Structure 1
Amino acid sequence: MFGIKDRKKYGMKIPEKFCGIADECFSGCNNLRQINIPSNIESIGDSCFSECTSLTTINIPTSVSEIGDECFSRCTLLKSITIPSSISKLGYGCFSECSSLTTINIPTSVIEIERRCFNECKSLRTIAIPTSVVEIGDNCFDECKILTSITIPTSVSKIGDGCFSECSSLRIISISTSVIEIGYGCFNECSSLKTINIPTSTSKIGDNCFDGCKTLQSIDIPTSVSKLGDGCFSECSSLDSITIPTSISKLGNNCFRECSSLQSIDIPTSVSKLGNNCFSGCTRLKTITIFTSVSKIGSSCFYGCSSLTTISIEDVKYISEERIFMNEPVLISIEIPKNLKTINGKKIEKKDINEFIIPSTITKLGNGCFEECESLKSITIPTSVSELGNDCFEECESLTTINIPTSVSELGDSCFSSCSLLTSINIPTSVSKIGNSCFYGCTRLRTINIPTNVNELGNSCFDGCSSLTSINIPSSVIEIGDWCFSECKSLRTITIPTSVIEIGGWCFNECKSLTSINISTSVIEIGDNCFDGCPNELKKNEVLRKIYYKDDCVIV
């Protein structure tokens, strides 16, 4: 085997007594411009001529039956090469990064082209893959930037992962009917590819297969395919329509993410799952119908669908714990499926939804359920609902009225906080708990009834209800929390029942119109600064003088 020591002894001319060239024998010989391999050589080792950056031509005799991995990798001036018919395999990275290689003839003797074989051959315009080849390896033609067309022969059954990734000039590709599998990221970032026909023989399309094909306008998916994987058509910004066959059961995560030209899509009844971010960023998508077959909708599924006006979810068992909608300014109507049991935290946050139909099967509206639905004017809560979670309607700035059914027993913390147009609300007698900050900042709330089952008014419960003029506290209440009526600037009079034994700190802070309060001697504790900012008339109240003003503190 002719090795590095022999090269130093004999120079660049290989004697006839050798039958092979060893691994890395000429690797890094930057001054080597051409070499004749004698007919006695049968094999060329791994990385044999790698990084011969001045090598322009090489003749490989028919005696050679084996070319090693990365044999000619990074021969940056090598423009052409003829592979003899004695070769059956082109090894891993064999011509990788041969950036000047424009043409190569692959004989019909070759049956396998291994991984990264022509990776980053940035001057390679055309290549003919013979009908003898049965498999094209991963990243085989990755970053062949000026490759414009290629034909996959009928002998090939699998196209490897990333095989044509970042072939940014690839416009035409013909895939034969023998191909069963197209690998992960196979055509990723093929930004000039406008159309492609996938044969009916294909049963698997890998994740991110067409990710970033920005000029892809149409594609036919055969019924032999059962799944569109993660990121399959992500960032195909020119794709305006696609037909999903009834064989598809799942649309993976990011499947159509940022397909900004996609206006409508029909999801067949065969689909059972929509992945996370599946349609996020589809800015022209206007309508979508999700059929009864879908059992799961992933998080942020429709995030950023700024043209989406209507979505119909017929029947779904699970909606992700994350948001499925967000920042879609024209979405105005959503119908929730009938078999959904719980609407859970911050999944349907929609700034411009003005209608929401809740089916009678819903038992709980969870935390943040309608938070920041700024255009929601009214909503009907079915009698099946027993609990309104924390922040449930927080910042529903257009909500003017709401009817709470008698089935509800609990109003969560900040449940109606900052509902600035809410003028009145009827709380049924079934409610036994009103959470902290429940009506905080409801600046137009004039009247409210507190049911007789409530025994505590939470901290900041009515804080900032500046239009509230009066309130009846039932005899069931034993404690009024901190800041409970703080800044209720229109509150004129209030009666504290004999059941109340504790009033929290800052409770009536800045109640500037409060001139009269009926309070029983049952109160044993009044918190700090409870009446700070209230009129001096309150100092005339005998109970307050004994409990609160006993140190003759001055109210500002």
Structure 2
Amino acid sequence: MKYFFKRAYILVLIITLVFGTINIASVNVKADKYVPALYAKDINNNDIKYTFKDGTLIAEGKGYADKSYSCRKKDIKKIVIKKGIKGIADYAFSECKNIKSISIPSSLTDIGFCAFYNSNLPTLTLPKTVRRIGAWSLTTNKPFSITMPGDFKLVWNDYLEEYERYISYGFKKIKLNSPYKPENKTQFASDSIYTMKNDPKYKSYKGTIYSKNGKTLVQVPAHTKHVKIRKGCTRVLESSLLYFGTTEEDGNVTFLNPKTVYIPKTVKKIVNDIKEYVNFDSKVKWTIKTKKLNGRSIELLCNIMSNSQRKKFLNSPNSRTIKKYNGMIITRSGILVRYTGKRKTLKLPSIVKRVGFNAVSSNKLKKLVLNKELKSIGAAAFNGCNHLKTIVWNKKLKKVEDDAFSDCDFKTVKITSSVRKWGSYVFAYNKSTKIIIPKKMKKIPAGMFIGNRVKNLVIPKTVHEIGNDSFADAKNKTITIKNGVREIGRVAFFGGDYTIKKVVIPKSVKKIGGYAFNMSAIKKLIIKNTSIKIGENALYSVGLMDVGKDPAKYFTYTYLSSMGTRFYQIAFFKVKGASGMEIEVSQKPNYSNPVVKKTVTNETGYVEIETPEEGFKYLRIRVYTINKNKKIFGPWKKISLL
């Protein structure tokens, strides 16, 4: 879900950070002193000396090499960073398109945002001492070969979406000089990857990562066109093929886009270690020699294949299917891996113990009857069955995974009490008009009822937590939250197309997550717990806040958000009975000589504060009322810096 308001002011911030102060020739403007930044935080007392001669830039001293010589970036051909320098600051050598060589010392630990962005790098060696690398830092004009640590930590700005959190979109060859870490899999997009010789857990075979003993496939390089799993490999991690990059337009996509995939006779198991799935292109040619795959492995392999390839595989003797019945394909272990029938009612036969991932695809199906032995329903199992409106539950069902019944037609959702583990978005976008929640359900999972159409929504007292997104994008006339609910998650009621006169947050609620009621027009919000924690933009569209008879006793509900290294935004809401609020910012815990002191009137809005270059540590706020022209203040409330 995208947050429009956050992205708007972030865009302004990005433009300011990238282009800096604009000097207009006709106006005499004194430029601010340049202060370098690392990961968007100011670097003070940077002690670096630069020498530039005959195209060679030498940086020496203590601190971080920065973009002091950006005006000569077209002339820089060689960069020498001397020992003692700790890091490379944000944008330090971006747009340097004529670099022939770079020398980096063993003292280096950090590489900032966009450090070499849009530059030309022939090759690069990063010492194993580098612990943190900023997003986009190695995104260059052309892929290049690199020697680098395998166990670094990626650092990114909060405004970057998930699909933007990469150091580079691709290398030629990667040679690791410290242990390979699977968590960095998406950062190693390349033609080939080679582990260090003494890596304790992993080993490279022809540029592909396996476990040390060669029996588990861990990562196929992203640029591989012909995937051939080595003979002797017995286990294949799904993430070895489907490690994800994401795009704003298309959702999840895999980095790997091969032409052929070869699985040898020795492979016995496909291991599920990812949550999101995509299919390989229908043009991918699969050669599957193994006849040893169990039912779960067959299900997982089908998840990766296109529809046409899946159909071909399931009709082959290698798939070990045991029965085809009324359009169902069932493995020997009892997993329904595919149903393409046209029946209006689907009764699962007794052999079925699990409905697999994305197994059922039917626009005719209206009723589902579970057998007595069914224990689990896989992710997206019935996703998109847009006429399915009735389900007969059993008593043995224990697990229902993500999106299992999303985009179906359940007008009434009656949750079974037998399920111990629910995934997220299970009944998303069903446009349900009635929801029955059992007493045993203590947490409503993320996105569970997103897009519902329940006129008078009631969250029962037996529910302790309302998950993220759980009732977002809905159309409700009233929302009743019973005393017993303890936490309301992020964007829980976000984006609803409705106007509600009043919502009461009971005393039991201790926390409201960010954007929880954002875009939901609530005329009046009554909060019973005056020590409640409110997340960023949680109550954006609330008209009036009611915190009790004596508002001066309590802290007004606010959030604090960073707008860069020196600017903060404090939001506040109109509080019934209050006259205004007073804000103080200080470097000292006793607030003597505050650096910022402001008084704001009692209206919903926000105030921006600018802090000194060295920042600040302490911020507090208090409410006041006016009685006979005299201000009566409530107690100070400290605000934690987000």
Q: Is the pair's TM-score, using the shorter chain for normalization, greater than 0.5?
A: no
Q: Give the number of the structure whose residues are more often strand, by fraction.
A: 2
TM tier, smaller: 0.3 to 0.5
Name the larger-Rg structure.
1
Task: Identify the structure with the greater helix proportion.
Answer: 2
Structure-2-length-normalised TM-score? 0.38
